[in-house]
Chains A and B, each alone.
Chain A
């Protein structure tokens, strides 16, 4: 589904991704964790080419994305992306936020797009907010709208960049619940998060990133109970005392 081959990325002289190789299968849920600045966001932003890479190859569903001839719009419309800061469009209602890309990019008829959007809003638990503006919603509700916006494209993969880090503690669960459900329905997901409960419950694999490399990759139970690397142990001890 998603393949990285010797991927390298630099910001100027800063080497942020170092020879990344990975292979994610359809239906798999992968959690990525690691210290701040280790390159987690950059890793998933490369997948839909929000960040270009300088070396290596990235494939999504068999298509190489880092090639000039690739139709990026098509690739992007098959990948849902959920940002830490929600990044909803504040001048549009919740419904308009969700239907914009299906209508403009996928050319879905408005009526069909709206019906689908209402179903998705129901699924993320906020059917009554369709005509509100994002500024009228709580953070947790905003993030659920953002997830609905992603699902509206009928994506093959959903990418999450620290979806609960900007939320007040009491709202984290409502967002995680939606994500757990999504995972159990078989969605392919890559989730950058430090929510260990989520990782244990639904992840197939956990990656630990440090200084631009995937240092460790394992099943959640192995990863949390028997970390192999020093850096992983150190990192886990920090987030455990923190939680």
Chain B
């Protein structure tokens, strides 16, 4: 079988793959950046005392987590123009990915926050820190510390999920594979290469995650 495997064509398509790889990386990077902001804000709203914010964040998180990403992507891609919001494909893709991941991140961060012993929050309150200062200086640094592995896990999911934006014809890694497969009728080579590049990204993130976890164990050992 392997003798039919055309490494030569893969070589020809390499520039396209690299372009796709780059697009996957930056689309994922921007998406995770916004997802983190959305996630932290949504989590803050969910944990706030304000019933309205609580409810709003709850609805957002539940509706994202209970529907497929593909449906969300199509909803924005086909739905937004009819609301006269015009985004290009890449922007739509980033919007869908960020909103989707944000909901999961909100829950990850919430788990981190509730793991912080209440006594510390009380001490911070007793010493005059307001809600935002308590979040900023006491809770989030610790909550993010313990949730970094879960957040990197979510980032890995987001990188893989970003392949769905190929369906709205954004040129990224998966789309590059699709192009090669359809232009040269080489699905095996095309998607093998795609998979190999995803694996590469996965191992880099995984390595970071392990490194962080070890660091955390080291810090707790003190």
Using a CB–CB cutoff of 8 Å, the interface residues on chain A facing chain B are 48, 50, 73-74, 76-77, 79, 81, 83, 85, 87-91, 100-101, 104-106, 133, 135-136, 149, 153
Using a CB–CB cutoff of 8 Å, the interface residues on chain B facing chain A are 117, 119-120, 122-130, 133, 137-138, 141-142, 145, 220, 222
The winner among B123, B124, B129, B133 for most chain A CB atoms within 10 A is B123
A136 x B222 contact (CB < 8 A) = yes
CB distance from B139 to the nearest CB of A (A): 10
If the complex has contacts A48-B126, A76-B125, A101-B127, are A91 and B119 also in contact, measured as CB distance less than 8 A?
no
CB distance from B217 to the nearest CB of A (A): 13
Contacting residue for B128 out of A77, A85, A90, CB 8 A = A77
The 10 closest A-B CB pairs, nearest first, are A87-B123, A105-B128, A87-B119, A77-B128, A101-B127, A81-B126, A76-B128, A73-B128, A91-B142, A85-B119
If the complex has contacts A104-B137, A135-B222, are A87 and B122 also in contact, measured as CB distance less than 8 A?
yes
A89 x B122 contact (CB < 8 A) = no
CB distance from B138 to the nearest CB of A (A): 6
A81 x B123 contact (CB < 8 A) = yes
CB distance from A30 to the nearest CB of B (A): 19
Contacting residue for B141 out of A73, A76, A91, A105, CB 8 A = A91
Q: List chain B residues, Cβ under 8 A from A81.
A: 123, 126-127
Q: List chain A residues, Cβ under 8 A from B122.
A: 50, 83, 87
Q: List chain B residues, Cβ under 8 A from A149.
A: 127
Q: List chain A residues, Cβ under 8 A from B220.
A: 135
CB distance from A144 to the nearest CB of B (A): 15
Q: List chain B residues, Cβ under 8 A from A153.
A: 127-128
A104, B133: Cα distance in complex, Å: 8
A89 x B120 contact (CB < 8 A) = yes
A50 x B222 contact (CB < 8 A) = no
A219, B198: Cα distance in complex, Å: 76
A81, B220: Cα distance in complex, Å: 26
Contacting residue for A101 out of B117, B120, B128, B222, CB 8 A = B128
A89, B139: Cα distance in complex, Å: 9
CB distance from B90 to the nearest CB of A (A): 38
A105 x B129 contact (CB < 8 A) = yes
A74, B128: Cα distance in complex, Å: 7
CB distance from A169 to the nearest CB of B (A): 23
B126 x A89 contact (CB < 8 A) = no
If the complex has contacts A85-B119, A91-B145, are A79 and B126 also in contact, measured as CB distance less than 8 A?
yes
A85, B123: Cα distance in complex, Å: 10
Contacting residue for A83 out of B123, B129, B222, CB 8 A = B123
If the complex has contacts A104-B137, A135-B220, A135-B222, are A89 and B130 also in contact, measured as CB distance less than 8 A?
no
CB distance from A110 to the nearest CB of B (A): 14
By beta carbon, the residue of chain A nearest B141 is: A91
By beta carbon, the residue of chain A nearest B121 is: A87
User: Could you name 13 residue pairs across A and B whose Cβ atoms are closer than 8 Å?
Assistant: A48-B126, A76-B126, A83-B122, A87-B119, A88-B120, A89-B138, A100-B127, A100-B129, A100-B137, A104-B129, A105-B129, A135-B220, A153-B128
